[in-house]
Amino acid sequence: MNNKYIDLIDQTYFFPQEEFTLENEHLKFHDIPLKVLVEKYGSPLKFTYLPKISENIARAKNWFANAIEKNDYKGKYHYCYCTKSSHFQHILHETLKNDIHIETSSAFDINIVEQLKKDGKLKDSAYVICNGFKREQYIENIARLINNGHKNCIPIIDNYEEIDLLSDAIEDTFKIGIRIASEEEPKFEFYTSRLGIGYKNIVPFYENQIKDNDKVELKMLHFFINTGIRDNAYYWNELVKCLKVYTRLKKICPSLDSLNIGGGFPIKNSLAFEYDYQYMIDEILNQINITCQEADVPVPHIFTEFGSFTVGESGGAIYEILYQKQQNDREKWNMIDSSFITTLPDTWAINKRFIMLPINRWNDEYERVLLGGLTCDSDDYYNSEQNMNAIYLPKYKRDKPLYIGFFNTGAYQETIGGYGGLQHCLIPQPKHVLIDKDADGNLTYELFSPQQKAEDLLSILGYETEKSVKKTSDTSINNKITSNV
């Protein structure tokens, strides 16, 4: 009978795959022996495989180069990394090995940009595209960056007041973009995204606030579809609507020469994942060519801001199955040694799917299970709703430890989960290991952060521990209040 876990995978998917292979009955991910990794560092454990970041950037650049050639496209392509998907220095340093640009979303991002420039990682000529709703600190930081000479910083105007705020803070002339507020998919609870400026208002906005403003040069139209770059009627419809705005604006605004199509490239979330990246890019450039030709305007340079696509496939999380609770004759709960809510928050918040596979025991019989996290929250689970099919794992055996891995978890999970901060039910944040390749192609390992300790959490909570810094009370406020009285 074919009842081993490996048989199940063989019958359901093409396996092995490029990044997933087996050695004996142990899983390897990009040649990383995961069982050895977990034996060395222990579980739970998060890891980042840095080379995958550069690999994905190269893949995207290559698809765009092919599409430019195929469509005889006259514009250039610029790859920006959307920092909010993972702000860590090791991630930024890896991305910037590939001569790319940066997209920011809030004030402190600019401090990161300044640090990267100081460290010689980000070129002075790199584009820094500043998205997001801009208030005092963000405006101040953008202005400082531009006033210090970073001419290729392009704030993307998200609301009507931003031009005045920036004009007051920036000494010289500066470039801007405008974000188009896309119409949401019909099933969504809102009609129009809160981000950006509505389609119909873009041309009047240009006429009223930009055209006669000598300080401002409009360079870019920005367009981001929340649901990503998908081959469906909604995406193509929104793209064409955006292109119509571009051509209308280009006719009255000669400085406009760039179109930013945002992020939204999907990543592999199942062993059955299929997506034709090359076709999508070919077709996007084809649509731009057609619309611009019809309107008789030159095609724009293209910018993208891939976040998930850049870092998502570099990350993974490994847990041990601690125990099995059989709650009735159909439901077996395999309890992991951490929490889904805190370590993979998207599984809980937006029902996101990740690839989940056992790390060891592939030659053992399998069973259908539910996966539960350690917090006392009933939502701390991962089940078949998130994981395309029901979850099957090698049978739980008390004396044979079972480890499982979640893969392609490298985007957004750390920042949304509040890395280094408080964790639900105080389940500590796992250790994090960075994996790279040396000049000879050998894998290297570095512990980036250990597992959180009790004193880390107690100190955040205000308890006096050896770790907590003595707080100085702010008497100046009291003095002010007393003197006013």
Ligand X SMILES: Cc1ncc(COP(=O)(O)O)c(C=O)c1O
Binding segment for ligand X (CB under 6 A), chosen from 261-269, 417-425, 454-462, 468-476, is: 261-269
Whose Cβ is closer to ligand X: residue 261's or residue 357's?
A: 261
**Bridge pairing between strands 258-260 and 301-306:** parallel
Using CB under 6 A as the binding criterion, the count of chain residues that bind ligand X stands at: 16
CB closer to ligand X, 261 vs 336 = 261
The tally of CA atoms less than 13 A away on the side-chain side of residue 181 is 17
Site for ligand X in 101-130 (CB under 6 A): 103
19 binds ligand X (CB under 6 A): no
CA distance 296 to 289: 10
Of 169-177, 284-292, 304-312, 354-362, the window that binds ligand X (rule: CB under 6 A) is 304-312
Among 305, 320, 337, 380, indicate the residue that binds ligand X (CB under 6 A).
Answer: 305
Q: What residues have CB less than 8 Å from 413, skipping those under 6 apart?
A: 315, 343, 344, 345, 346
The stretch near ligand X (CB under 6 A) out of 257-265, 355-363, 367-375, 464-472 is: 257-265
Q: Is the peptide bond before 401 cis (omega within 30 degrees of 0)?
A: no
Ranked by CB distance to ligand X, the top (closest) residue is 263
Parallel, antiparallel or unpaired: strands 26-29 and 32-33: antiparallel
Question: Considering only CA atoms, which of 165, 407, 162, 166 is closest in space to residue 271?
Answer: 407
The token pair that represents 186 in the structure block? 């019909």
82 belongs to the binding site for ligand X (CB under 6 A): yes
Q: Using the rule CB under 6 A, is 86 a contact of ligand X?
A: no
Cβ proximity to ligand X, 75 vs 307, nearer residue: 307
Which DSSP string do the residues of 22-38 spell out, in sequence order? Answer: EETTEEEETTEEHHHHH
Sign of CA dihedral 68, 70, 71, 73: positive
Contact region with ligand X (CB under 6 A), list: 140-148, 206-214, 262-270, 447-455: 262-270
**By three-state DSSP, how is residue 157 classified?**
strand
The distance of closest approach from Cβ of residue 104 to ligand X in the complex, given in angstroms and rounded to an integer, is: 10
CA atoms of 286 and 291, how far apart (whole Å) = 9
Q: What is the dihedral of CA 458, 463, 468, 473, to 10 degrees?
A: 140
Contact (Cβ atoms closer than 8 angstroms) between residue 174 and residue 216: yes
3-class SS of residue 199 = helix
**Token representation of residue 298:** 């030159």
Cα gap 89→416, rounded to integer Å: 17
Residue carrying structure tokens 């939502």: 379
Strand-pair category, 315-326 with 402-407: antiparallel
Interaction between residue 263 and ligand X (CB under 6 A): yes
Report in angstroms how near the CB of residue 208 gets to ligand X at its nearest: 24
Which amino acid type is present at position 28? Answer: K
Residue 409 makes contact with ligand X by CB under 6 A: no
> Site mask, ligand X, residues 369-388, x = CB under 6 A?
--------------------
Residue 81 CB, shortest distance to ligand X, in Å, is 9
Binder to ligand X among 75, 300, 307, 394 (CB under 6 A)? 307
Indicate the SS3 state at residue 472: coil
Site string for ligand X, 210-229 (x = CB under 6 A): --------------x---x-
Contact 453, 430 (CB under 8 A): no
d(CA 12, CA 215) in angstroms, rounded, equals 60
**Phi/psi of residue 320, each to 5°?**
-105, 145
Q: Which of residues 36-75 bind ligand X (CB under 6 A)?
A: none
Per rule CB under 6 A, is residue 405 in the interface with ligand X?
no
Taking CB under 6 A as the criterion, the residue among 44, 262, 345, 417 binding ligand X is 262
Among the listed residues 217, 128, 116, 233, the one whose alpha carbon sits nearest the alpha carbon of residue 173 = 217
Min dist. Cβ of residue 181 to ligand X (A) = 12
**Member of 71, 85, 334, 360 binding ligand X (CB under 6 A):** 85
User: Which of 131/413 has CB closer to ligand X?
Assistant: 131
Which DSSP helix (H) or strand (E) runs through 306?
Answer: strand 301-306
Per CB under 6 A, the list member of 131, 247, 334, 409 interacting with ligand X is 131
- Cβ 206 to ligand X, closest distance in Å? 20
How would DSSP label each residue in 124-172?
TTS-EEE-S---HHHHHHHHHHHHTT-TTEEEEE-STTHHHHHHHH-SS
**Residue with Cβ nearer ligand X (88 or 265):** 265
Q: Which of 71, 258, 291, 308 binds ligand X (CB under 6 A)?
A: 308
Check binding of 264 to ligand X (CB under 6 A).
Answer: yes
Q: Please identify, using beta-carbon distances, which residue of 132 and 316 lies nearer to ligand X.
A: 132
Only one of the segments 33-41, 302-310, 427-435, 469-477 lies at the binding site for ligand X (rule: CB under 6 A); that segment is 302-310
Q: In the complex, what is the shortest distance from the CB of residue 262 to ligand X, in angstroms, rounded to a whole number?
A: 4
Comparison of 130 and 166: residue with beta carbon closer to ligand X: 130
Name which of 110 and 404 has its Cβ closer to ligand X. Answer: 110
Residues that bind ligand X (CB under 6 A): 82, 85, 103, 131, 224, 228, 262-265, 305-309, 411
